[in-house]
Structure 1
């Protein structure tokens, strides 16, 4: 019993017990040491931990410094480079923010604010880095690149959705975020070009929403129906309805031309699946879990899409360290009933099969 009393006595004692006994006392500020992780790790170790190179991280911090710089450097303020490092660590693993704070030497609430601030700043670059072809010359160039994959003509993008796990948002609408695999997620719609750049992204829909519903509610559908990309089309899987501007595979191909159409369609549309794999390898948090609230998760997803495009454009090295148990496609690939497909919707696909693929076999 004496041992128990000694333990209880020691646990109730502290170095600052006299300070805490003072009336209306405030907790003393503690400044934790901050390690310069640009110097701590070599280039490869830095790349594997933060998913981008040191040079790109420094350039990003310099470019975003006006948005990230604090008003004063008093109270051991966090520099733009340190803020970028914390956000990159979150994108690398979606880790608990307390763990990131312990490594960075700041409180978890500071980490939360910093990650959101950096994500907003990077997502603000989306108009420069995520864009569909803007004119006929760009559309023709993109169609030529797609044609070189498997001879499918007039394609300017491939479309699909992927589920990005998030923590339960709570509240009355929480169950709308539970997908068919019983995981809380955001169903994110992405369009990619022939070089696997992300050219359009929609990251605001709950995991229970079907791919076709997301597309029908998106701005890009309105642009397609307004004729902005007239004469060209997207390729989608069977989760979408066939449209004059969005071609899907045939469910039961019979003729040689139909089989050739399906084969060319599938091999060309595979670009978007490969893009998901590269995106998730670059930033594993996209395939694991984003441990932040839903609004901030949406912002982080767009930021990671922007960074993915930047890394591809600048040919930033791909990290070698990546572990994932789920690299398969997780999009909704359920057939839509043909009862709602009009002859007008089928016209482009039938004409393409009869006048183009029929001559190729």
Structure 2
């Protein structure tokens, strides 16, 4: 085997072995090829040096992956939470659920797949920061395409938990509890939530004009309703940044359901509050329009209204502070993928609140 062919074969083999494959299998291939060549007296000095080198490089790759997992496991609980944005307890619980879900392949036609623990760490590394895929792939020593494929699979799995994690209150006791908590915190009775929108910055898409928001950057919109514990009770995501909040609301399933059957979502005269950009509806109350004719009571209500709306701001701040990817999607131009990732972050936001997994710096 001449040196050029050896280099080419080495490059192709390493590329394949870095793409979710079983390194021991490729090690066996090298050994078998060397042994078969020995039998046929076809092994020259270059071959005898090349195949052991191939085996060494493959084993080295597996060692680098194992070493980085060992590094993560060696982090203190504080370091783990600071870097991956979830507590170790919450992460382990989700890893167990991911392993049982079937979303991560248990076999790859004789090749060893990436384990759920590694896949979830890759996803957390992606959503916890705004760095591109290349350094993430480098740390875990897998290809960029495999890294992106792992992220999409974990996102798809998290989306199956949407109805379980982001729930509209239906039971009378739940509704009453939320209203009582809002009343005690804000002084406003019969209030079921705060509705608001936030923009998620993206790279310039193909239909750029549609996604350019009034602040001059490209974005997609996340609409959410928030309860008194800062949980999301309803989300609607994916509308282009040029849309205003009223237009987004009217496109959402929440609006259609409430307009057709108010009592299905807002029984007992309950309602949402929203800023002045929202329309005044039987189930949605914006503040009184500022003018010189407002009574003292109306001005006092506007003051309570403004302080109440800060809850949605705080919820969005928590979401983007924990999952920094939601602040900015660089490189990625697939709107469907971005939307799914934002929804997945909202699901994890609620999951963390349910697990009492809080970040102190937020």
Q: TM-score range by the shorter chain?
A: 0.7 to 0.9
- Measured against aligned partners, the alpha-carbon deviations of 1:219-265 in whole angstroms (never above 9, x if no partner) come to 11122221211311000001111111100011225211111111111
Matching of residue 240 in structure 1 with residue 278 in structure 2: yes
Partner of 2:106: 71
Task: For 1:247 and 1:21, locate their aligned partners in 2 and report how far apart those are by CA, in whole Å.
Answer: 68
Matching of residue 42 in structure 1 with residue 76 in structure 2: yes
Out of 325, 328, 337, the residue aligned to residue 285 of structure 1 is: 325
Task: For 2:289 and 2:347, locate their aligned partners in 1 and report how far apart those are by CA, in whole Å.
Answer: 35
Out of 229, 237, 240, the residue aligned to residue 203 of structure 1 is: 237
SS at match of 2:235: strand
72-81 or 55-64, which moves further after superposition?
A: 72-81
Say if 1:48 and 1:319, in contact at 8 Å, map to a contact too.
Answer: no
Structure of greater Rg: 2
Say if 2:130 and 2:325, in contact at 8 Å, map to a contact too.
Answer: yes
Partner of 1:307: 348
Partner of 1:151: 187
Matching of residue 189 in structure 1 with residue 223 in structure 2: yes
Task: Please report the RMSD computed on the Cα atoms of aligned residues, expressed in angstroms.
Answer: 2.1
The CA deviation at 1:50 is 0.5
Task: For 2:114 and 2:360, locate their aligned partners in 1 and report how far apart those are by CA, in whole Å.
Answer: 27
The CA deviation at 1:114 is 0.9
Say if 2:106 and 2:113, in contact at 8 Å, map to a contact too.
Answer: no
Partner of 1:249: 287
Task: For 2:258 and 2:89, locate their aligned partners in 1 and report how far apart those are by CA, in whole Å.
Answer: 39
The CA deviation at 1:20 is 5.4
SS at match of 2:229: coil
Task: For 2:158 and 2:177, locate their aligned partners in 1 and report how far apart those are by CA, in whole Å.
Answer: 28
Partner of 1:175: 209
Say if 2:231 and 2:353, in contact at 8 Å, map to a contact too.
Answer: yes
Partner of 1:273: 313
SS at match of 1:27: helix
Matches within 5 A, 1:1-361: 17-19=4-6, 27-29=12-14, 30-31=17-18, 32=61, 33-34=64-65, 35-36=68-69, 37-65=71-99, 66-72=101-107, 74-170=110-206, 173-225=207-259, 226-227=261-262, 228=264, 229-230=266-267, 231-252=269-290, 254-289=294-329, 291-292=331-332, 293-318=334-359, 320=361
SS at match of 1:28: helix
Partner of 2:38: none
The CA deviation at 1:191 is 0.6
The CA deviation at 1:57 is 1.1
Richer in helix (by share): 2
Task: For 2:171 and 2:256, locate their aligned partners in 1 and report how far apart those are by CA, in whole Å.
Answer: 17
Structure 2: runs of 5 or more not aligned: 19-60
SS at match of 1:141: helix
The CA deviation at 1:76 is 4.3
The CA deviation at 1:21 is 6.6
- Measured against aligned partners, the alpha-carbon deviations of 1:46-101 in whole angstroms (never above 9, x if no partner) come to 11111001221111111021333323265442111111111111111132111111
SS at match of 1:78: coil
Q: TM-score, normalised by structure 2?
A: 0.79
CA distance 1:21–1:186, change in 2 (3 Å): closer
Q: TM-score, normalised by structure 1?
A: 0.79
CA distance 1:16–1:89, change in 2 (3 Å): farther
- Structure 1: which 4+ aligned runs deviate by more than 4 Å? none
